[in-house]
Amino acid sequence: MGNVRYTVVIEWDESEKLYIATVPALSVGTYGESREEAIKSAREAVTVTIEGLRELGQPIPQGVT
């Protein structure tokens, strides 16, 4: 399996003063103090989520085509 791309939605949370990153296809959400931190954290969360799904023998959701 080659590289798979997922849509990452970045939003600014004014009340928490954080960037929220969500990956809808995987139901993953995380955050960072900067956009870059939020994106890095989302990448890490995607990796961990996919590894967990593989270990459980679950299907991996398709990314963006």
Looking at residue 1, what is its pLDDT?
Answer: 52
Looking at residue 2, what is its pLDDT?
Answer: 65
Is residue 57 within 8 A of residue 35, CB to CB? The reply is: no
Looking at residue 63, what is its pLDDT?
Answer: 82
Domains of the chain: 9-55 (3.30.160.250)
Q: Where are the beta strands (DSSP E) in the chain?
A: 9-13, 18-23, 28-32
How does DSSP classify residue 5?
Answer: -
- pLDDT (tens, 9 = 90+) of the chain, 65 residues, equals 568 899 999 999 999 999 999 999 999 999 999 999 999 999 999 999 999 999 999 999 988 75
CA distance 51 to 45: 10
